[in-house]
Structure 1
């Protein structure tokens, strides 16, 4: 339902204009700032934070023992993984981590503190939001922006929820809510009652018990409680044996996989999961303890969030007599404590009401679209991140059954995709449009928790089918938000109404550690990752099909593209690449006058792997390929690692080569792998294969752009390089495995090759970008040129990927080398 509203006056003067406004400087706001500045470079943005500090929840809540209730490998930022094996971290450490991340990436410079957004009004005529801001003791402000990203969480920062307890005015002790914990509160030697049974309560009780005389957790009904170690042994092991980036991905995906598997098992076999949880509780408590009374809820596991206690600290406090759980109802407060409905009285010097939050969507901001107030409760949620019929707005709303940041990061990256798509196609607006009568509304959150039930009147609904269905599943959302079609028939793209008529939407498409359970979940997680890798491989192959021909070379299939007529040029691509690295921009510039043959190196692209991955073995395979095509001493162009293969070809098989044109070639042994390729440095073949079929695909999907940015730096990565340039093929397990083997074997042959450079008497030319950040032009270019008779080094502006970023200069240089061969 929409309601007419009048404009609210806000400060005078001209409003500042920005591309993006982010509301909130907590985990989701900092994550969004990083994504917008790296994936939409050049966009202006500001982060508006109502308080005076970074951190959001983790700065607001200061109660004793506050800690993460999910592991930090999934709660942490994917672009700056949690640096410790402390999987369950304290609030101070998390707050410092968020602030350090903001500083490390320059995000803090975009934060404006003390600015509370109260209203945001959208104009379709201008395709802009006008954001109205209140400031304590200062005049209101306005900012006009193209896109609004709400990272303001889902609860009211001003006050938590406290039920109207009878007689509370008679209580002579101190009454405290965890959301506003007094810094000077001293509970040493005091009797403390904590009312509540959720994550906050089970966190407070063992922490308070360290100094209090006694702590009682008073609950109306039990909650499922599971203990797990605070330190992650798997994380410690992976970081000892794998490259850091792969170890980070392995640890994250272990947690993701176990979470998905255990949640699925709990929903499918709730009785079994309940029995296993209660078995774990019984193992922590005395034999005669009434576990069912205090630890067996009336609902199934994951009807409400499961509470996590690290290192069984709650049970340790109970076993030591410092804490107890009482399951009863508050009848009324008394001057000295709480009278219970059973007749018992709990004496208390301090009562802590850990009774929940007050949900407040969008930070309480009033949304207005073309003069109509938007009531979110009347709307559907699109892909769990946008509101139906509200243009150019996304909100960060995390998972209820997994870490908050997982979904928020996907949402921010999808918002970046939308902005890039609009820029590329001349659109101004993107609006998820609900016009399908077959979609019926359902509660957005399936939880029965009190705070969720109290918020049903303000939350939007999810729909009965995609894209309105909220999955609560990271793997499904990853596929939908990373690869899903943007113009899906629901998302409508338009120009500003004052500028042009709307562009019709596309045709709709159909939607696409508890003992034995932990072990089963681990197996399911590995199997799920392997299945995900297989399905992703098929999808990648559909996006980037083999577009050349195949030839059998001594029983091994090689993929190549043969175009044009004239003098022959054979081109060999670099590490983790394939022949589209050349067809992206160079092929059409050369094939008008030359016969250009692009080849996928053994194991790369669509060529079969060789017996070994070392440079000289690959060169021998290329020599046999040249012979099979009956080529007469072609000019061989090699880029990066392909340059090293071309050099080995000339050294070991000089009869096959007329001359060398080496672009940013690897010519000297390397002490360490370039940072862009560090994730490939897996020495063990078994570990390499295991990673290829489990972690490599999701790691490439999530971090591939980061690797591409490092490879292209300081130049930008073309938006279509993943497909047109073939970059996404490295996510295929076989390609990842081959690239890793190539990297590990790269140094095997180089020392002997270096000793033989002086014997190269055929024409050799080298081209380097002055700003190459993968291979040093001085070491691999100038030093090499000094070792080879008659070699010539040319430097141009650019980085390592000049065949893609500087095609005119590169093609002209190749033409010069080809023409010199006559």
Structure 2
């Protein structure tokens, strides 16, 4: 009797690969496309990808960890160059921390994937435990790297069968291999070779690095002094951001300098090498390549360890060609023979795009080499598929994270418009194919037959530049006339209209002069970016009201309506639009409502001090200047603490207090929404304000807003209508950070005086407030003031925005209790 075959399991998104880029993509998917059902298919039995596969001695990052690490979980150490085991643990810990590990299906190899336009679905064929099966998905994200995990590249050497010793490839290092007291020859000149040589030299009798031609080698400290200072003076996440952007800026600047002045860069690199080795060493023979810097990837060594092994006589470099293997070593074309007990063939990788899976679109086989790559992450005429492919001149993760976030933007856009597919198409005949990678490295040249091409102009151009890609992938138009979308009707995608509107020995960094210039250029560039962004924000969120001078300092306020007076003081990192967003019109119907920007916030000038009582004193003089007679003072969050200080120190200026989610007690920990503001040093606050604060707000501002509003959603227009964008201005960031640091200064003394209050006090809190605890700050204040009333409503910390009707009714009720 026939039985129906159950349909394949279906996911919104399938991610192939559980290495750095796969875990990054999963995090972005579950945070930026919440609710999407996804799985990660990993052919191996462990998390980590490259960092789990490679186990050879000394394996470490070949770029700094501040850019190789995850942007959402910055590398926590000042050790910029980290070992493979530490990186593997970091990836696995990240997957566990965010619950990503629960979505991984280990031992699952993807064989082929077929797209059906009629169904707008990928059917993915997999093998697991020797059994074949199928899974379907709407979007396929390939995070499987770019090389063959099965084997590395080894040339066909003559006489290999005559060699009596061990021959190993680093990609499959034998755990039991013992090189103690043995003569080791490492064939190769790339990152793997320069890592292996000093690592093996500690135990080996001697290690020789045999290279056919030299590679550029640059030494840098394994510990990053800038990062060490940043972690001492800045909050953890902001310190990670600072270290990352320092590395990004340095990388972009040095790469640009190398391409513009290759001879000068070459001289600087060789000068650094010369400083590490004896005066009579033939530097040009072993360290001067025939190509320009960055025609191939530059090898990075930590703390000059390779040079140290050479100076100690434990290692040497030989530049020659292999004639053949012999029973006892390797015979060279020069006639010399290198004795060896172990030969390590660090001769490169075999590139294999997307794990070598077979792709078809509507029955037609896709050869990636025949396609152009769109924004460095999608293949022309292949719908709903993205691939993670990092930079050749910087860290892998930088580009992969941007690609993952762009894929999430596409998915959200399709959901919002009812599209089923997105397909980049080359409709412009003037776009001509060019090699995807400009490297002359052997592994790249051998891969020309499998790699897609880039195009002669955007968006087909592959930028080896994080800043350019950040602009294109985070802020660029989705409907750009090249990306074609199809609706959910099974039709072939048609064109969418384009949118219109520890120091190393002797010398730590051989290119110190360039590095210093790059650092200055980076800081200057960030400051200019902050200034230009400030002007753009001011156009988006212009001045709303009027100004009045208070003790020679300008205060910005907005007044509307007639009736009993209500004075409203906003919270940390806010401004008056937090109230005008929803409460102002409701209250101004029957009250005179005055909104102010606290000193330093919005468009008000900061006072001499940022502590709560100093701000209260300035607001008291503001009220006197306007002739306000004992208004009801509404304070939200930190504004609640300022309102309490106003009532304690200037009781004649206050008729009553209506405190919304107020800060009333000293706090030991900084709420997550404001962690980036916790900068104790005034000098550091100013430096961050004019360098990192603006790009950090652009990259992570939404996440901070979500933490402040949680568990309720952030209104889509809060950045402008609610004034949220203003905190990205350098001055506002600096003032907000000062407010946070000074928040506890006056609270202990104020708590001891709460019993002095003789005016009406009411407290309103959202039951689900995740910024300030209603029990600690609400109920404890109510207990100190027997006449005070605590009201709890549904909602989080931002109830003036999310619960305006209930909040306005509550404020209006408190106004009837205040003396007139």
TM-score range, shorter chain: over 0.9
1:63 to 56, 59, 64: 56
Alpha-carbon distance, 1:789 to partner:
5.2
1:679 to 668, 676, 680: 676
The answer to whether the 8 A contact 1:495-1:502 is kept is no
Match of 2:506 in 1: none
2:203 to 211, 218, 229: 211
User: Could you tell me how far apart the structure 2 residues matched to 1:73 and 1:465 are?
Assistant: 31
For normalisation by structure 1, the TM-score amounts to 0.93
How many residue pairs were aligned? 807
2:409 to 396, 406, 417: 417
Alpha-carbon distance, 1:306 to partner:
0.7
Call closer, same or farther: CA 1:447–1:606 in 2, change over 3 Å. Answer: farther
User: Could you tell me how far apart the structure 2 residues matched to 1:643 and 1:45 are?
Assistant: 43
Call closer, same or farther: CA 1:498–1:667 in 2, change over 3 Å. Answer: same
2:90 to 97, 112, 117: 97
1:613 to 610, 613, 616: 610
Q: Counterparts of 1:224-303 in structure 2 under 5 Å?
A: 224-303=216-295
Return 582-591 or 338-347, whichever deviates more: 582-591
3-state SS in 2 of match to 1:748: coil
CA-to-partner distance for each residue in 1:508-531, whole Å, 9 max, x for gaps? Answer: 67xxx2332222222222222222
Match of 2:32 in 1: 39
User: Could you tell me how far apart the structure 2 residues matched to 1:391 and 1:725 are?
Assistant: 38
Alpha-carbon distance, 1:453 to partner:
1.5
Name stretches of at least 5 consecutive residues in structure 1 with no aligned partner: 1-10
Alpha-carbon distance, 1:356 to partner:
0.9
User: Could you tell me how far apart the structure 1 residues matched to 2:440 and 2:496 are?
Assistant: 40
Return 628-637 or 368-377, whichever deviates more: 628-637
1:551 to 542, 547, 558: 547
Call closer, same or farther: CA 1:438–1:698 in 2, change over 3 Å. Answer: same
3-state SS in 1 of match to 2:111: strand
Call closer, same or farther: CA 1:429–1:501 in 2, change over 3 Å. Answer: closer
Return 624-633 or 449-458, whichever deviates more: 624-633
Alpha-carbon distance, 1:321 to partner:
1.9
Residues 1:533 and 2:526 are matched in the alignment: no
3-state SS in 2 of match to 1:54: coil
For normalisation by structure 2, the TM-score amounts to 0.93
Match of 2:352 in 1: 360
Return 349-358 or 725-734, whichever deviates more: 725-734
The answer to whether the 8 A contact 1:426-1:495 is kept is yes
Name stretches of at least 5 consecutive residues in structure 2 with no aligned partner: 502-508
Match of 2:577 in 1: 580
Call closer, same or farther: CA 1:17–1:565 in 2, change over 3 Å. Answer: farther
User: Could you tell me how far apart the structure 2 residues matched to 1:535 and 1:440 are?
Assistant: 35
Residues 1:641 and 2:638 are matched in the alignment: yes
CA-to-partner distance for each residue in 1:337-380, whole Å, 9 max, x for gaps? Answer: 32222222223222211111111111212222333332222222
User: Could you tell me how far apart the structure 1 residues matched to 2:529 and 2:736 are?
Assistant: 20
CA-to-partner distance for each residue in 1:101-143, whole Å, 9 max, x for gaps? Answer: 11121111110001111222223333322222122322x2222
The answer to whether the 8 A contact 1:489-1:508 is kept is no
The answer to whether the 8 A contact 1:615-1:645 is kept is yes
The answer to whether the 8 A contact 2:479-2:496 is kept is no
Call closer, same or farther: CA 1:565–1:167 in 2, change over 3 Å. Answer: farther
The answer to whether the 8 A contact 1:490-1:508 is kept is no
Alpha-carbon distance, 1:12 to partner:
5.3
User: Could you tell me how far apart the structure 1 residues matched to 2:224 and 2:584 are?
Assistant: 50
User: Could you tell me how far apart the structure 1 residues matched to 2:783 and 2:743 are?
Assistant: 22
Alpha-carbon distance, 1:395 to partner:
1.5
Call closer, same or farther: CA 1:351–1:500 in 2, change over 3 Å. Answer: closer
Q: Counterparts of 1:119-518 in structure 2 under 5 Å?
A: 119-138=112-131, 140-498=132-490, 504-507=496-499, 513-514=509-510, 515-518=512-515
User: Could you tell me how far apart the structure 2 residues matched to 1:380 and 1:568 are?
Assistant: 65
CA-to-partner distance for each residue in 1:775-800, whole Å, 9 max, x for gaps? Answer: 12122111112223522111123322
Call closer, same or farther: CA 1:599–1:492 in 2, change over 3 Å. Answer: farther
3-state SS in 2 of match to 1:498: coil
The answer to whether the 8 A contact 1:491-1:505 is kept is no
The answer to whether the 8 A contact 1:495-1:503 is kept is no
The answer to whether the 8 A contact 1:337-1:349 is kept is yes
Match of 2:791 in 1: 794
User: Could you tell me how far apart the structure 2 residues matched to 1:175 and 1:432 are?
Assistant: 46
User: Could you tell me how far apart the structure 2 residues matched to 1:178 and 1:72 are?
Assistant: 22
3-state SS in 2 of match to 1:747: coil
Call closer, same or farther: CA 1:155–1:516 in 2, change over 3 Å. Answer: same
3-state SS in 1 of match to 2:300: strand
CA-to-partner distance for each residue in 1:269-288, whole Å, 9 max, x for gaps? Answer: 21111111111111111111
Match of 1:87 in 2: 80
Residues 1:109 and 2:106 are matched in the alignment: no
The answer to whether the 8 A contact 2:117-2:491 is kept is no
Cα-Cα RMSD: 2.5
User: Could you tell me how far apart the structure 1 residues matched to 2:491 and 2:562 are?
Assistant: 49
Alpha-carbon distance, 1:411 to partner:
1.7
